[in-house]
Amino acid sequence: MNPWEDPRVAAGLEQQIELRSSALRSGSRSVGWKVGFGAPASLELMQITAPLMGFLTDATVFGSGESVDSTGYQRGVVEFEVAVYLAHDLGPGASDDEASAAIGAVGASIEVANISLPVGPDQVGGIVAGNIFHTAVVFGEPDLSRAGLDISGLFARIFVDGAEVGATGELEAITGRYPTVVRTVADTLAANGLVLGASDVIITGSVIPPIPAVAGSEYTFALDPLDPISVRIV
């Protein structure tokens, strides 16, 4: 069974796609896609075989250094992710090499999420329907020199209020390989009548376990040697 054929995922995607369509009809602009729950422990916990997919629009894009209001959050978290930018459309059934070749740039991103449901296999449909807890995203400048999904030499450092709280050079250790992530998104979209298109961006999952979002704190992601980006939670 393909990941999107899981009845829980399929039911959630039907509602999520309508949520996205409603946002676009209301004037939001599509930015791209996100994945979540791709870490091996998360796949096991949720009883899924591939990461879950959500969507991004400009309604939730914040500039680096801006503040995200966490009022009403049940359990906010901050995630530090590699963003990959499509240079051309990618259809279903692509190979890892074809997925990599479709990427025209790589950059840093920070996602803020509100964990508003219990996390477990019985909640997969609701989590997907609600766009996988997404509330905000910050993007760094895309690095065009990394076309072809070149992540060589990138090193992630994470800071909270100026203090380093995490670092890794193994960017794909808890997300799975990025070409596979890209293929999963392309295949899932195609199965639902959509296309992973040129100019879409995918945020690929956090390179370290998510960090609690605490009001009053600033979170910085330095994906060296790229310029750092930050977000403040209020």
pLDDT beyond 90 at 28: yes
Q: What pLDDT sits at residue 174?
A: 93
Q: What pLDDT sits at residue 2?
A: 87
pLDDT, mean of residues 217-234 = 99
| Residue 101: pLDDT band with limits 50, 70, 90 | very high
b/e per residue, 208-231, with b = 16+ CB within 10 A?
bebbebeeeeebbbbbeebeebbb
Q: Biggest alpha carbon distance in the chain?
A: 46
Q: Are 212 and 77 in contact (CB under 8 A)?
A: yes
Instruction: Find the domain containing 42 and state its range.
Output: 3-233
Element (H, E) at 21: helix 7-25
Lowest mean pLDDT among 38-47, 94-103, 176-185, 191-200: 38-47
| Residue 39: pLDDT band with limits 50, 70, 90 | confident
Q: What is the pLDDT of residues 114-143, one digit of tens each?
A: 999 889 999 999 999 999 999 999 999 999
How far is the C-alpha of 84 from the C-alpha of 27, rounded, in Å? 24
Is 194 exposed, middle or buried, given 0-12, 13-18 or 19+ CB atoms closer than 10 A? middle
| Residue 1: pLDDT band with limits 50, 70, 90 | confident
Q: What is the CATH classification number for the domain harbouring 10? A: 3.90.850.10
To the question of pTM greater than 0.85 for the whole model, the response is yes
If one counts the domains in the chain, the total is 1
